[in-house]
Structure 1
Amino acid sequence: MAVGPAAPARVAPVSRVPGPAEPIDVTVVGRRMAAADVVELTVARPATEPLPQWTPGAHVDVLLPTGAVRQYSLCGDPADDRSWRLGVLREPAGRGGSGWLCEHAVEGTSLTLRGPRNNFALVDAERYVFVAGGVGITPVLPMVHAADRAGRPWTLWYGGRHRSSMAFLDELTRYGDRVRIRPEDESGLLDLAGVLADAGPGTLVYCCGPAGLIDAMQNRCRSLPAGTLRVERFTAVSQPVDDGADRDIEVLCQASGLTVPVPAGCGILDAVRRAGLDVLSSCTEGICGTCETTVLDGVPEHRDSLLTEEERAAGDTMMICVSRARGDRLVLDL
């Protein structure tokens, strides 16, 4: 009996995945410059204790000694439960997290992490188009490896200011012309029409990078089927706010039985914490998903930069660090 070629492995579908709440103590076991301004840190637990499992697109919270919490994508191999790899872009105009890590995180440094959490999960598709700008390559890199191992057709378009600023180029050479390296000083901005020429039926497009790149991709993909484009942002987007949305509201915390008044100008997260509830949060900007909360009743006024349009319309979850209510009352699973 003739036997045809084996079916390609599936990329397991994964929805947004909340991470473990308990902090993880790790030690920096490796450090190198992955690009001119990108430090690659490899961390591990002491002795032989394995690290939690993760999937391509996941990130961890880094709880810095300064009290700040910052998110960094995992860019190593998900099959490796002994070490994690992070790519940290030094941002002189940032809030200090990358500066601390680039200056102080050397081999032997102890760090505290939380997670991993996945808001940018790779789901099964017939074909992939990956688009990365600058340090946006960090969550995309393990996606490329996973798609390749699964036997799925894929293309990666990778843009940056110049080659010396683009991390992990050495790892991508093995894929040949499936990887399109486009430094801006050599090729100009990414040709998004060319990028999307491969986005036929059955294709998912994953994009991570600067806000301008993501905005341009979203505009270009409006004519494609809903859900074709998946993005992850590093910075929050200003959201339109309904008139009167900052009115006083009331939040019933169903699981704890508390009713919490939330005055105008006060966030839901701050109000429920003041009422004594221990709610995890991280970015406080609506981009990391740490404070995502189930909505049992009421209509949220979404101000995050994470939920899809379909999730916003469903109204059954919200990021309480930035979002409020369209009415006078919400019932939350808190």
Structure 2
Amino acid sequence: MESDVIVVGGGVVGLTTAVVLAESAQRVRVWSREAAAHTTSAVAGGLCWPYRIQPEAQVVAWSLHSFHVLSELAERPEETGVRLVTGTMADAGGWQPRAWTEGVPGLRAARAEELPDGYETGLHARVPLIDLRAYLPYLEQRLIAAGGVLERREVTSLDEAGRDAPFVVNCTGLGARELVPDLDVRPVQGQLVVVENPGIDQWFVAADAGASESTYILPQSYGVVLGGTAREGVWDRTPDPATAAAIVRRCAAVHPRLAEAPVLEHRVGLRPSRSVVRIEVERLPGGALCVHNYGHGGAGITVAWGCAEEAAWWVVAGGEAGAAR
């Protein structure tokens, strides 16, 4: 297959970007070392809310675009894995820029009876909650339906992809640290615990943007996802029993029934953090144009559609022709 674009990276950002390109009549191949089910995206809790990501103005725009796309997908939850779920973002210093809170339909201040003990303020909203076990296969199927191709392969350089197509989109996340190379990319380790659902139907989050520990409770179809941690610069993917116990304790302080809920799974993922998201264009040594789309931190799922549209614009517009935009 001759390709217009090679998308390097098969997580949620790479797949979403590939879908946008393929549905814009581009001939797209995705090169990924791992299946989507084994990427960092598959570990995520799946709440659509910006977290640990900059720059603020662009992030809000990307997030709101994604919010509307995901809300439409929530009309077909069995197919897409996306549902609209009500919940509360409590007052733990979370990332709550005014443009986001004003842009989400129905978002309002939480009432006292909607807040657990120990929390004085918060935001109440109905937002997309994504089951990545269903959503990632949905994106893969949607890509294939649009004529895209998925290939499992190790990529040693971006120029390698540039020899196969005139455009490359770099969605390698944490891998960009070595592939670009970009030492501004660093891991932020996140640990989660999945337990049987004792009857919880609303999400709850208390997450200070700069804290190494947080509390969140996300009711998914397969159980309740409990979190979490955000440890800068930690590469270890091994679940820590003491950390898991602390997560359960924090969540049980909100919903006491969680204290005795059977544990189904432990997860550890490495968020691909960067000082700011990188969506930029550069010419590769072999002549291909590379659009970088990485550094989404803890909000890859939340900004994926917005970032995909911006990255795809450079390809569809011919890259350099858009430099004067």
Tell me the TM-score normalised to structure 1 length: 0.22
More helix by share: 2
Larger radius of gyration, structure 1 or 2?
Answer: 1
Tell me the TM-score normalised to structure 2 length: 0.22
State the structure with bigger RCO (CA 8 A, min sep 6), 1 or 2: 2
